[in-house]
Amino acid sequence: MTKKKKRKLTESTVSPEEKAIKVSEVFSKGDTTTKLTFFVMGLNQIKNKQWVKGLTLLILEIAFIGWLLFSGISAFSLLSSLGPNKVKRTITDASGFPQTLQPDNSVLILLWGLIACLVVVLFILLYWFNYRSNKHLYFLKREGKAIPTNREELASLLDTKLYATLMAIPLIGVLAFTVLPTVYMISMAFTNYDRLHAVAFSWTGFQAFGNVLTGDLAGTFFPVLGWTLVWAIVATATTFLGGVLLAILIESTGIKFKGFWRTIFVIVFAVPQFVTLLMMAQFLDQQGALNGILMNLHLISHPINFIGAASDPMVARITVIFVNMWIGIPVSMLVSTAIIQNLPQDQIEAARIDGANTFNIFRSITFPQILFVMTPALIQQFIGNINNFNVIYLLTGGWPMNPNYQGAGSTDLLVTWLYNLVFGQTQRYNAAAVLGILIFIVNASISLVAYRRTNAFKEG
């Protein structure tokens, strides 16, 4: 038993002596098989009877070389031009018949080219793994230690190398469905992929960035960015404040059936957003229920156009923020409730004995503590609001349209504008990709600054 334990504690880390070995030493002092393993992956492992590892490496190398020869190289060579044939043209073939040549599909060429890059990167990682394993075998032999058998190697996959076993499938998913699409879209920002170049497009460098930042889209980008930031700040602040106040109201002494009150508010949040928001759009329509009620109560004489195509931009923006409060306050309320219930009561008790009133206690004790715990969550909410597609798309659809904007309305955020650029009339895919990158930069810089600040706050 003790022997087993010792093995587990030492095996997990690579010893410093092994780390010190250089590539040149493995290559020059290793035996022939060790040398050959630099070129034919898995040989040394097979020689040392680590069949599974050795054969897997060997088969993967053969597969990689085969793939490279038959499709990889052509995928790479097409990547530089994104396909040589940019226009539809007619040629005469050998037997004299005219033939129509379709332009090359750059969308697919780019996709396969990027997949090829990904495969090469994965192969380099595999090669590095092969080298490490080869070096380990060399090290074990040099020190005269026992080489792990095939069985031991496999057993380590469930123990010291369990992370590799468990992460393999999720990582493939992340690579295929997050990394690859993201890289694909980033690369589209450097092309002229739009309605005019819908099939065959080419690399154009930073031209699309120019269009968005200083060109014809700049007049839309900066106002929309401004509204996006205002919206994110106001939406985050109102839902947070409202949620905290509501939680304090429900949690205050004397209120009975706290769970019941909480549930009423939670229901709103629990109903799928596409239901509540589409219904809210109906509810707030010029002919909708809310105007009906207000008219019946004689509070207004004409129906108010809250979010329609012809509504006032300011009214629409304020309406969106109010509807967002209606959706967002219950979430903040739930979270602040959990925090309030865990606050140390003795401080509050002490303050009350010292004569502090409810408002003072809230301002000086409760609120700062809630804010402290919730800061990271607030940063996430802020970023979530910058990217809050649902509320805008389902509620207003970006309306009212703004004649000064290209493909965006007065309530459009950067993300909904991005969506319009792709799926709307304009089909400016490259501009949409640029926008995605710019949104990423905004998100990343805000969270970077904010996290720095909160860390400083915590330490100080």
Q: Which is nearer to another protein, 55 or 270 (CB)?
A: 270
User: Restricting to residues 293-312, which ones interact with another protein according to CB under 8 A?
Assistant: 293
Find the part of the chain contacting another protein (CB under 8 A) among 61-69, 96-104, 219-227, 285-293: 285-293
The dihedral sign for the CA sequence 345, 347, 348, 353? positive
Residue written as token pair 């022939």: 32
Residue from 37, 276, 366, 411 in contact with another protein (CB under 8 A) = 276
Q: Give the Cα separation of 99 and 208 in Å (integer).
A: 35
Least distance (Å) from another protein to the CB of residue 173?
4
- Count of positions (residues) in the chain: 460
Q: In terms of CB distance, is 268 or 401 closer to another protein? A: 268
Place of tokens 């009212």: 400
Contact characters 161-200, another protein, x per CB under 8 A: -xxxxxx-xxx-xx-xxxxxxx-xxx-x------------
Q: Is 217 in the site for another protein (CB under 8 A)?
A: no
Q: φ, ψ for residue 92 (rounded to 5)?
A: -100, 125
150 touching another protein, by CB under 8 A: no
| Cβ closest to another protein, residue 144 vs residue 259 | 259
Least CB distance to another protein at residue 373 (A): 6
Question: What residues between 1 and 30 interact with another protein by CB under 8 A?
Answer: 1, 4-5, 8, 12
Q: How far is the CB of 39 from another protein (least distance, A)?
A: 26
Q: HEC string of the chain?
A: CHHHHHHHHHHCCCCHHHHHCCHHHHHHHCCHHHHHHCCCCCHHHHHCCCHHHHHHHHHHHHHHHHHHHHHHHHHHHHHCCCCCCCCCEEEECCCCCEEEECCCCHHHHHHHHHHHHHHHHHHHHHHHHHHHHHHHHHHHHHCCCCCCCHHHHHHHCCCCCHHHHHHHHHHHHHHHHHHHHHHHHHHHCCECCCCCCCCCCCECCCHHHHHHHCCCCHHHHHHHHHHHHHHHHHHHHHHHHHHHHHHHHHHCCCCCCHHHHHHHHHHHHHCCHHHHHHHHHHHCCCCCHHHHHHHHCCCCCCCCCCCCCCCCHHHHHHHHHHHHHHHHHHHHHHHHHHHHHHCCHHHHHHHHHCCCCHHHHHHHHHHHHHHHHHHHHHHHHHHHHHCCHHHHHHHCCCCCECCCCCCCECCCCHHHHHHHHHHCCCCCHHHHHHHHHHHHHHHHHHHHHHHHHHHHHHHC
Stretch that binds another protein, among 85-93, 139-147, 194-202, 382-390 (CB under 8 A): 382-390
Question: What is the DSSP track for 239-251?
Answer: HHHHHHHHHHHHH
Q: What six digits make up the tokens of 318? A: 């304020």
User: Looking at 65-73, 194-202, 252-260, 346-354, which segment touches another protein (CB under 8 A)?
Assistant: 252-260
Name the one range near another protein by CB under 8 A: 82-90, 200-208, 223-231, 411-419: 411-419
Site for another protein in 416-435 (CB under 8 A): 418-419, 422, 429, 432-433
Please list every residue from 324 through 343 that binds another protein, using CB under 8 A: 326, 330, 334-335, 337-339
Give the residue with the Cβ less far from another protein, 171 or 449. Answer: 171
Which residues on adjacent β-strands are paired with residue 401? 409
189-228: burial string, b at 16+ Cβ within 10 Å, e else: bbbbbbeebebbbeebeeebbebbeeeebeebbebbbebb
318 binds another protein (CB under 8 A): no
Applying CB under 8 A, which part among 24-32, 38-46, 140-148, 383-391 lies near another protein?
383-391
Least distance to another protein from the beta carbon of 46, Å? 26
Least distance from another protein to the Cβ atom of residue 93, Å: 28
Minimum distance from residue 416 beta carbon to another protein (Å):
9
Binding mask 95-124 for another protein (x = CB under 8 A): ------------xx--x-------------
The nearest distance, CB 95 to another protein, in angstroms, is 33
Is there binding between residue 213 and another protein (CB under 8 A)? no
Smallest gap from Cβ 271 to another protein, in A, equals 5
The nearest distance, CB 7 to another protein, in angstroms, is 11
Residue 36 or 401 having the CB closest to another protein:
401
Tell which positions 434-453 bind another protein, by CB under 8 A: 436, 439-440, 443-444, 447, 451
204 binds another protein (CB under 8 A): no
User: With contacts defined by CB under 8 A, how many residues of the chain interact with another protein?
Assistant: 101
Window 351 to 380, contacts with another protein (CB under 8 A): 373-377
Query: Stretches 74-82, 156-164, 221-229, 403-411: which one binds another protein (CB under 8 A)?
Result: 156-164
Does 207 bind another protein (CB under 8 A)? Our answer is: no
